[in-house]
Amino acid sequence: MPPIILAIESSCDETSAAIVKNGKVLNNIIATQFEHQNYGGVIPELASRTHQRNIVPVVSKALDSCKINIKQIDAIAFTQGPGLLGSLLVGISFAKGLSLALGKPLIEINHLQAHILAHFIDDPKPEFPFLCLIVSGGHTQIVKVDNYFEMDIIGETLDDAVGEAFDKAAKLLGFAYPGGPLIDKYAKTGDPFKFKFPKTSVRDFDLSFSGIKTAFLYFLKREIVNDPNFIENNLHDICASIQYTLIQMLFDRLIAISHKTKVHNIAIAGGVAANSYLRGQLVIIAKKESWNIYIPKLEYCTDNAAMVAMAAHFKYLENKFSNLKATAFPRLKYWTV
C-alpha cells in the first residue's frame, strides 16, 4: 500500500499540517500567528500557547480536506528542531499522542532539511549535487546537498539571520513584525543605489548581518537630525537600498561557493526566498553563471508542513523511524540522518 503520512510543523510561529500519499503532497494547511505583530518579534510563550490552540483544528482540516480517515495514516512526522523549544514541544507531544493512540510509527524531521527537500514537492526537481541557499528569520546558510540525507553547510551567518536583518531594519522604519515583506513591497519603486551601507566581510564563505543592522540604525539617526521626515520622504529608496545590500551579500557568497565547489544547480529556500528582488536577481545571475535554478512556490518558502511531509516520505522509504523518547532540539544542526 502506498504510504500515507501526516506531518506536523510547529517550530516557530506557524502551526501547519500536511498529508503526503505515496510521495505526493495532498495539502498544506497553515495557521499563521498574527499575535506577534506588535512585539517586533516572535514571543516564544505566546507562540507555544497559540500552537496549543491551533494544532487540533489544523490537523483536522488537513485530514478532512483530502478525505483521509486518521486510521489510514501509516506514520506521523514532526519537526524536531531547530526552533523554539515550547513551540516544538507542542508538535512533538501531539505527534507522540497520536502515535500511541494509532499504534503508528513516528518520523522526526530536521526543519532545515525539510526546507531543502521542499524542492521535491513539485517539478522540476533539482539534480544532485545542488547548493541550497536557506534564508529565513532564524537561519542563513549555503548547503551542499549530495542526496536526500547528506547535506554539508559550506557557509553560514556567524550572527543574525538575513530575515532578522530585514525585520530589524523594518522595525526601525516603523513597520510591524515581520517587516521583511514590506521592505520588499516598498523597494519595488525605490532606487537601490541611493544609499550605501557597508557590507560586513568575514572569513571564507561565512556571512555576518549584525554590523549592517547597527550601521542602518546610525544612518537613520544621522539623517533624521537633518530632516525629521527623512523616513517618510525617502521610504522607497531606503527600502530598496537596504534590500539591495542584504541580497547582494548573499549572492557574493553563493557565487563564490558555486565557483569553489563547481556545483551549478542552485536552489533557494526559507522565508526570505519569497523576496521578489532575490528571485529576480537569481534569474539574472543564473544566466551569467550558467546555473540551473530551482525556485519553490511561495507557500513552500515560508514555514509549512508540506516540506516536513516530503522529507518524511523519503525517511519512510528508508525505514528511518523515531520513537516515543524523541524530544525537541532547539539548536539542531547536523545534516546526516
Contact positions vs ligand KG4 (CB under 6 A): 12, 136-138, 163, 166-167, 178, 180-181, 184, 270-272, 274-275, 302-303
Is 304 one of the binding residues for Zn ion (CB under 5 A)? Answer: no
Select the residue interacting with Zn ion from 155, 240, 303, 306 (CB under 5 A).
Answer: 303
Q: Which stretch binds Zn ion (CB under 5 A): 68-76, 128-136, 255-263, 314-322?
A: 128-136
Closer of 9 and 98 to ligand KG4 (Cβ): 9
Q: Which of 159, 163, 156, 155 is nearest to 137 (CA)?
A: 163
d(Cα 277, Cα 13) in Å, to the nearest integer? 25
d(Cα 186, Cα 177) in Å, to the nearest integer? 15
d(Cα 256, Cα 74) in Å, to the nearest integer? 43
Partner whose binding site includes residue 81, from ligand KG4, Zn ion, none (CB under 5 to 8 Å by kind): none
Partner whose binding site includes residue 178, from Zn ion, ligand KG4, none (CB under 5 to 8 Å by kind): ligand KG4
d(Cα 264, Cα 116) in Å, to the nearest integer? 16
Record the cell numbers describing residue 111, joined without a space.
526543519
Select the residue interacting with Zn ion from 33, 50, 136, 258 (CB under 5 A).
Answer: 136
Compute the least distance from the CB of residue 78 to ligand KG4, in Å: 16
Closer of 138 and 190 to Zn ion (Cβ): 138
Please give the C-alpha separations between residue 206 and each of 143, 209, 223, 273, 282, in angstroms, as whole numbers: 12, 10, 31, 18, 19
Q: Which stretch binds Zn ion (CB under 5 A): 17-25, 141-149, 173-181, 296-304?
A: 296-304
Closer of 12 and 75 to ligand KG4 (Cβ): 12
For residue 325, the SS3 value is coil
Considering only the C-alpha atoms of the chain, give the largest distance between any 2 of them, rounded to a whole number of Å: 70
Partner whose binding site includes residue 137, from ligand KG4, Zn ion, none (CB under 5 to 8 Å by kind): ligand KG4
**Number of residues engaging Zn ion in binding (CB under 5 A):** 2
Compute the least distance from the CB of residue 110 to Zn ion, in Å: 11
Closer of 180 and 296 to ligand KG4 (Cβ): 180
C-alpha triplet 131, 133, 134: angle, nearest 5°? 130
DSSP state letters, 170-220: HHHTTPPSS-HHHHHHHHTTS-TTSS--PPP--STT-B--HHHHHHHHHHH
- 32 phi and psi, to 5 degrees? -85, 140
C-alpha triplet 326, 332, 336: angle, nearest 5°? 90
Partner whose binding site includes residue 180, from Zn ion, ligand KG4, none (CB under 5 to 8 Å by kind): ligand KG4
Partner whose binding site includes residue 295, from Zn ion, ligand KG4, none (CB under 5 to 8 Å by kind): none
Partner whose binding site includes residue 181, from Zn ion, ligand KG4, none (CB under 5 to 8 Å by kind): ligand KG4
* Residues in contact with Zn ion by the rule CB under 5 A: 136, 303
